[in-house]
Structure 1
Amino acid sequence: MRINTLWPSMKLGDAFEILTGNTPSTIEKKYYGNDVLFAKPPDLNNSLITSTGNFLSFEGANAARTVPAGSVLVSCIGILGKTGLLKNEGSFNQQINAIKPNNRAIPKFLFYQAQSPYFQRQLSELASATTVAIVNKSKFSSIEILLPAIDIQTRVVAKLDALFSDLDKSVACLKKAQEQLKVYRQAVLKAAFEADSSPKEETVELSEVCEIQRGKSKHRPRDDERLYGGIYPFIQTGDVRAANGGIIEKYTQTYSEFGIRQSKLWPKGTLCITIAANIADTGFLGFEACFPDSVVGLLPKSDRLRIEYLNYYIIANKDHLERLAPATAQKNINVNILERINFALPSLNYQDKAIEAIKHQFKAADQLEDNIGKAMSLTNIFRQSILKSAFEGRLI
């Protein structure tokens, strides 16, 4: 890509002190507390870092590598190029390289430059050709950066701040629209299942009309390599969640012949519901598949029930099902809880009409959500275009 050749450039390591993070021993509980930021890649979202998922104690910070406010953090293992700008002094783990600030650059100028296509392309090209992308400190230090005069940096930052402020407002509006669609979907479901609108022929326990079984994954340890790499799809909770109540079409793991012998192959069309960590996420199998005991399979055993109607009922009552989970470190519900759920079962005619009405209204919401998603993607493209222009010297 073209850069501004009128601006002087230097190797990153020649202009700034670069540090690779580390993790204080997790065995030493005294190292962890609420005193000092401790950043990991999930904390880097191309934004100002004001809080992190974990914090160190002051003693832990002494065992870590700590950098001052204004330091730029860049993820260099796994997902490359996620950035963050420390608001306060902080530490960071070994997946991150930090650029300590000095008088050569305004911290925010470095922060924006680290997100630019110019910087990101170099980072990608330096990555080791291994299963997990890695850019070590030495390679990271070799990245060429642009260092114009401070007054130029100030003008570039001011222009980017103004443009990104407008862009962020647009993104906030799009996110608000996404949240409103969630509310709309719940309103549609409430209308279908509230007491005044759905004629009840009878109230049954779910076990009366539905076969309910946990998935099987008996072998221990669960990470035994012999279990995996075959032809049998192995669905996990994340795959169910990604289906968002629809068809499960993708999977990331398979069972071998050894794996299938200690599990069970469920038929296409099985309604899956998660019962651990994320409670009551649902999806229909789009193919025969296995799943672990953190997922339950539901199949109708009565011609009085449309399984799609049950799926919408579960989605509508997700909050209620979550409240049934015991208050433990990791929420979970068991098969017995599901079996005893009192399920108001209307006529098949009503179920069919409700399914059709929900599908029709959800289709309109899905189209709107798709358009919002496309608009969100465009904002990301626009952001990169702005950064590209900035470091080609075309914004000022």
Structure 2
Amino acid sequence: MSFYKGWGMREVLIKTEEFKDSPLGNIPKDWDVVTLGLLFQIQTGATPLRTKHQSYFAGGTIPWIKTMDLNEGWILDSDEKITEVALKECSVQMLPPKTVLIAMYGGWEQIGRTGILKYPATTNQAISSLVKISSLVESEFVIRALQHGRIRWKAFAASTRKDPNITKDDVVNFLIPLPSLPEQRHIAEILDTVDEAIAHTSSLITKLKQTKAGLLQDLLTRGLDEDGKLRDPQAHPEQFKDSVLGLIPKAWKVKPLSELADVDRGKFTHRPRNDPRFYDGSYPFIQTGDITKTIGGILTTYSQTLNERGITVSREFPINTIAITIAANIADTAILGIPMFFPDSVVGAVVKAPNRSTNNTI
């Protein structure tokens, strides 16, 4: 269901008479559409001059929120903090708990990011702060409405200005749906429950990744004996030897990757790199970020494609190639599940026979 229909917990197909048209599309008849400026005092923060006044930051205890601190949920702390001196002498303002924050600029990925203060804090000038002045709204609901409307923030940023950003006026005039207070609270509670489940799952994933890292360390340095158990260098030192990689099982060898695989760097020789004439075709063209998202796994998704002109200035690698990043997120790896083209920020290692698996995987 869409935001306006699903959040109202109504069945649109059966009870269409309960809905009406609005500037935001089809919404329940008893909902209003209002601007943020009617519900909140909108203000922006500031950055104390750290180069001239170290006393503004040194030993600070007051949270100072930047766009990178915005986490789409409750903000409990900040990367940097300012001092009481900065609060008194600069134009930063202390904001109360439940203030909703919106990133106005700071890079395309940051625009429209949100957060809500759990405790009093200050912000820099890249953030709009929404301090509630109306009893008709719950901040916990509004942050959800803003997250749903983030695509509209990006539309403002892309279409109205040379540099992608949104302004205080954009925020003041931004439209959101306004159900009754009980329905706002119910909607927020449902989405909070979903977020808690996501956080729990993310925690489990983090723990599993840590477990995997430990297993990799053990398996790739100690190996398994004939019973399928980890070799123990303490109990059986005679089973190990020194190498350039440290202590390894005696039967193991150390070889350069070039002996085991054909290693080639990707390429994209045309400049500028973002020339649209080379893109939007049918040939997968991966970036370092694609590998990072699939790190250690089989890569079949991609963020860009090349057309016939694009593939003439790039290089294709076959299925089962090990893709290795050499820029940005250095040394992340994934295995190609389909043939793909690489830029020069990615190296491909095609394993040679007989080291290649007989089941067509690496």
Higher relative contact order (CA 8 A, sep 6+): 1
2:325/2:347 contact within 8 Å kept: yes
What is the DSSP-based 3-state SS (H/G/I as helix, E as strand, rest coil) of the residue aligned with 1:203? coil
Deviations 1:166-203 (A, max 9, x none): 98876665444223322333354455433352673643
What is residue 184 of structure 1 aligned with on the other side?
211
What is residue 116 of structure 2 aligned with on the other side?
84
Offset at residue 128 of structure 1 (A): 5.1
CA distance 1:30–1:235, shift in 2 (3 Å) = farther
What is residue 15 of structure 2 aligned with on the other side?
none
User: Structure 2: which 5+ runs fail to align?
Assistant: 9-26, 226-248
CA distance 1:43–1:216, shift in 2 (3 Å) = same
Distance 1:309 1:186 in 2: 25
Matched, 1:112 2:127: no
5 Å-filtered alignment, 1:190-229, equals 190=217, 192-197=219-224, 200=251, 202-229=253-280
CA distance 1:202–1:141, shift in 2 (3 Å) = closer
CA distance 1:310–1:140, shift in 2 (3 Å) = same
2:43 to 11, 16, 19: 19
Offset at residue 210 of structure 1 (A): 1.4
Structure number with higher helix proportion: 1
Distance 1:59 1:221 in 2: 47
What is the DSSP-based 3-state SS (H/G/I as helix, E as strand, rest coil) of the residue aligned with 1:278? coil
What is residue 283 of structure 2 aligned with on the other side?
232
Percent identical: 27
- Alignment: residue pair count: 297
What is residue 298 of structure 2 aligned with on the other side?
247
What is the DSSP-based 3-state SS (H/G/I as helix, E as strand, rest coil) of the residue aligned with 1:17? strand
2:325 to 266, 269, 274: 274
Matched, 1:287 2:338: yes
Distance 1:220 1:125 in 2: 32
CA distance 1:41–1:308, shift in 2 (3 Å) = farther
Offset at residue 120 of structure 1 (A): 6.0
Deviations 1:146-181 (A, max 9, x none): 799xxx99xx99x99999999887666544422332
What TM-score does the superposition give when structure 1 sets the normalisation length?
0.55
CA distance 1:58–1:237, shift in 2 (3 Å) = farther
CA distance 1:298–1:31, shift in 2 (3 Å) = farther
Which range moves more in the overlay, 294-303 or 161-170? 161-170
Q: Which amino acid aligns with 1:204?
A: K
CA distance 1:171–1:281, shift in 2 (3 Å) = same
Distance 1:268 1:212 in 2: 14
1:45 to 65, 72, 75: 72
Q: Which amino acid aligns with 2:305?
A: T
1:72/1:85 contact within 8 Å kept: yes
CA distance 1:23–1:232, shift in 2 (3 Å) = farther
What TM-score does the superposition give when structure 2 sets the normalisation length?
0.59
CA distance 1:62–1:308, shift in 2 (3 Å) = farther
Offset at residue 19 of structure 1 (A): 2.8
1:300/1:307 contact within 8 Å kept: no
1:85/1:111 contact within 8 Å kept: no
1:97 to 128, 146, 150: 128
